């Protein structure tokens, strides 16, 4: 039976984040700063739109590309944001589905894909799943992009550069200049640029900038999971030039088929729901974390998403997380996102009470 399992399953481990989630389920009253999803519920009007879709019989497959009204709304929004660019929209089964489609449609076995360390856990796994070769660019200690390092890493086998800003797990955003230089580098070297923008609405200190503004061939992946707390609904989208979106659409026909249709109608309603007050609240929570930990931890300022990525005050990040869990605090070891085992991830998408309890434990651990 041991020969029945495909080799590709051995190229990456199970998600370490999911292991922490499983651990949390067995703890009686954890201080949970591990979950990478909003702590507010899906707004009622979005829920109602989904329920209405179910009751009105919109339960079958949609077009592979997505329901026409949602695609049109997104297309209008995209074309307004990228004037003059002819970009197509594909509705996907979450942004993870969009990432997988981009890999399957664009990466050949042996192709190299550049991404930045620390990284979202799926990146190297999906590259390997497509038969590609992951190439990580180290961004420690400030988690900023050094475009020269990227240029030096490009070879004749480089197919793709994958960037995530604001980033998971650091919460750090690339600067406008870095993104422009990265976009222009990809264009000049004939490399596909894929921009994971799932946290684009959680940008706190300056306006969000997409590198696709500077590179009309760039692929953008976004969705409703984080902005509208719709993580379980699995509605994301990709936009980019038609010649790149077309093969992804074909791959979706033979994988996900389509995003869940009732959830797509909910997403259409979500486009009219203002959640800026939640963004403002997370900005305040971000400031609470910075103020609470700044005296005891080395911490690159997180200016987006809802994560912070402090350096462990002593020892490895994994050892520190073990100490934290012994004190009923759930955080994520940085080595899950990195070749380095020096940091840990905090999600401040939590109640103020939980954040204050977590800060108290972290300050105590740093001082003992």
pLDDT (tens digit, 9 = 90+) per residue, 328-355? 999 999 999 999 999 999 999 999 999 9
pLDDT at position 2 is 62
Instruction: Label residue 3 by pLDDT band (50, 70, 90).
Output: confident
31 and 173 both lie in a single domain: no
Q: Is residue 19's pLDDT more than 80?
A: no
209 and 329 both lie in a single domain: no
Q: What tens digit of pLDDT does each residue of 288-311 get? A: 999 999 999 999 999 999 999 999
Within a domain: residue 105? yes
Q: Is residue 1's pLDDT more than 60?
A: no
Within a domain: residue 50? no
208 and 193 both lie in a single domain: yes
Within a domain: residue 48? no
Within a domain: residue 116? yes
- The stretch 200-224 carries a mean pLDDT of 96
334 and 196 both lie in a single domain: no
- The stretch 40-68 carries a mean pLDDT of 96
211 and 353 both lie in a single domain: no
**HSE value, Cβ hemisphere, 13 Å, CA-based, for 121:** 15
More confident residue, 6 or 81: 81
Within a domain: residue 53? no
For residue 127, with 0-12 CB atoms within 10 Å meaning exposed, 13-18 middle and 19 or more buried, which class applies?
buried
146 and 246 both lie in a single domain: yes
Residue that finishes a domain, picked among 210, 242, 270: 270
- The stretch 7-19 carries a mean pLDDT of 68
Instruction: Label residue 25 by pLDDT band (50, 70, 90).
Output: low
pLDDT at position 85 is 80
Q: Is residue 361's pLDDT more than 60?
A: yes
279 and 263 both lie in a single domain: no
pLDDT at position 84 is 80
- Indicate which CATH number applies to the domain containing 244: 3.40.640.10
Domain of residue 142 covers 60-270
313 and 234 both lie in a single domain: no
Torsions phi, psi for 347 (to 5 deg): -105, 120
Q: Token match 């203002």: residue?
A: 274
Total structural domains in the chain?
A: 2
pLDDT at position 102 is 97
222 and 361 both lie in a single domain: no
Within a domain: residue 55? no
What residues have CB less than 8 Å from 162, skipping those under 6 apart?
A: 113, 114, 115, 123, 194, 196
191 and 240 both lie in a single domain: yes
Residue that finishes a domain, picked among 212, 246, 270: 270
What residues have CB less than 8 Å from 128, skipping those under 6 apart?
A: 8, 11, 12, 134
Residue 90 bridge partners (DSSP): 238
Q: Which tokens is 28 given? A: 């009686």
Q: Token match 């339960």: residue?
A: 59
Distances (CA, A) of 349 to 30, 151, 185, 267, 283: 15, 35, 35, 21, 10
Residue that finishes a domain, picked among 223, 241, 270: 270
- The fraction of the chain above a pLDDT of 90, given in percent, is 87
256 and 294 both lie in a single domain: no
Within a domain: residue 198? yes
114 and 172 both lie in a single domain: yes
- Indicate which CATH number applies to the domain containing 17: 3.90.1150.10
Within a domain: residue 83? yes
Q: Is residue 15's pLDDT more than 70?
A: no
pLDDT at position 290 is 97
CA distance 302 to 286: 7
pTM value? 0.93
3-state helix/strand/coil string of the chain: CHHHCCHHHHCCCCCHHHHHHHHHHCCCCCEECCCCCCCCCCCHHHHHHHHHHHHCCCCCCCCCCCCHHHHHHHHHHHHHHCCCCCEEEEEECHHHHHHHHHHHHHCCCCCEEEEEECCCCHHHHHHHHCCCEEEEEECCCCCCCCHHHHHHHCCCCEEEEEEECCCCCCCCCCCHHHHHHHHHHHHHCCCEEEEECCCCCCECCCCCCCHHHCCCCCEEEEECCCCCCCCCCCCEEEEEEHHHHHHHHHHHHCCCCCCCHHHHHHHHHHCCCCCHHHHHHHHHHHHHHHHHHCCCCCCCCCCECCEECCECCCCCHHHHHHHHHHCCEECEEHHHHCCCCCEEEEECCCCHHHHHHHHHHHHHHHCC
């Amino acid at each position: 039976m041991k020969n029945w399992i495909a080799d590709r399953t051995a190229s990456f481990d199970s998600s370490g984040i999911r292991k922490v989630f499983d651990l949390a389920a067995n703890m009686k009253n954890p201080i949970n700063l591990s979950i990478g999803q909003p702590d507010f519920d899906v707004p009622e009007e979005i829920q109602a739109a989904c329920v209405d879709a179910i009751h009105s019989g919109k339960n079958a497959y949609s077009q592979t590309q997505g329901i026409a009204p949602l695609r049109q709304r997104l297309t209008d929004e995209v074309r307004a944001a990228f004037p003059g660019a002819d970009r197509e929209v594909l509705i996907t089964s979450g942004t993870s589905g969009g990432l997988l489609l981009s890999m399957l449609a664009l990466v050949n076995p042996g192709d190299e894909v550049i991404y930045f360390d620390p990284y979202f856990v799926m990146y190297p796994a999906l590259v390997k799943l497509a038969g590609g070769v992951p190439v990580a660019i180290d961004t420690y200690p400030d988690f900023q992009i050094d475009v020269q390092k990227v240029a030096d890493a490009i070879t004749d086998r480089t197919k793709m550069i994958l960037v995530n800003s604001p980033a998971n797990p650091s919460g750090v955003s690339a600067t406008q200049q870095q993104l422009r230089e990265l976009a222009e580098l990809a264009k000049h070297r004939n490399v596909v640029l894929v921009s994971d923008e799932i946290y684009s609405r959680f940008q706190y200190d300056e306006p969000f900038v997409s590198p696709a503004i500077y590179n009309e061939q760039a692929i953008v992946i976004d969705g409703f999971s984080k902005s509208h707390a719709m993580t379980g609904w699995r509605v994301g989208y990709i936009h980019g030039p038609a010649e790149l979106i077309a093969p992804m659409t074909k791959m979706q026909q033979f994988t996900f088929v389509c995003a869940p249709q009732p959830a797509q109608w909910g997403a259409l309603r979500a486009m009219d729901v203002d959640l800026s007050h939640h963004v403002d609240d997370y900005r305040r929570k971000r400031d609470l974390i910075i103020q609470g930990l700044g005296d005891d931890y080395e911490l690159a300022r997180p200016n987006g998403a809802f994560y912070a990525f402090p350096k462990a005050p002593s020892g490895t990040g994994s050892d520190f997380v073990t100490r934290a869990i012994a004190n009923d605090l759930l955080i994520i070891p940085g080595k899950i996102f990195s070749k380095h085992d020096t940091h840990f991830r905090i999600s401040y998408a939590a109640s103020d009470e939980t954040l204050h309890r977590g800060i108290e434990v972290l300050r105590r651990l740093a001082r003992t």
